[in-house]
Amino acid sequence: MFIGDAATMDSTTVQTIRGILMSELGIPSSRVEVANFVTRRFVVGGDTMCWKSSHYAHEGSPVTIVTGNRAAVSFSARGLGLADGTYVPDRATIGWRAHCSCGWEASELVERVSDPQLLRGPNQVLDQYGGPALPEIEDKCHAQWLGHLRQVSTEISVAR
């Protein structure tokens, strides 16, 4: 039996659900799976938000994407650090994309719009400065990453 996304539940609640399914309904533990995708958000180095799955050992985060579709790997007073050791200014940010430790990355970019006068689409966010993801952007990237975890969970459940 598969219980869906329990992202809003703490580990005690998840264990309570498992206990009820096993003891009160008589379902063997081998047939009970509670997908507690994400229970914790962490701030890394004061800048970067990351999410950790509690069950499948995935770690996700919003990654700042700059001109040329390059990913920023660090943030500092010098600007956004790139993998080749160079830096670009925060305003070079074109958007953000969710990434996962397993190698997955969201196909859709959360696009940065710097002009407050422009109408924005559902995957566009006003950010006049660029740089690390703002809370609204983190939420959009988090939703992308949760979609990835749901897909991974479905694949695991089908394989069993």
Read off φ and ψ for residue 71, nearest 5 degrees: -95, 135
Give how far Cα 106 sits from Cα of 40, 62, 145, Å. Answer: 20, 10, 7
Q: Are 69 and 153 in contact (CB under 8 A)?
A: no
Name which of 100, 98, 74 is nearest 88 in CA terms: 74
Distance CA 117, CA 33 (A): 48
Choice among 29-38, 60-69, 94-103 with the minimum mean pLDDT:
29-38
pLDDT in tens, 69-105: 999 999 888 999 999 999 999 999 999 999 999 999 9
Q: Higher confidence at residue 1 or residue 24? A: 24
- Which range of 38-42, 94-98, 131-135 scores highest in mean pLDDT? It is 94-98
What pLDDT, on the 0 to 100 scale, is given for residue 91? 95
- Which of the 8 DSSP states describes residue 54? S
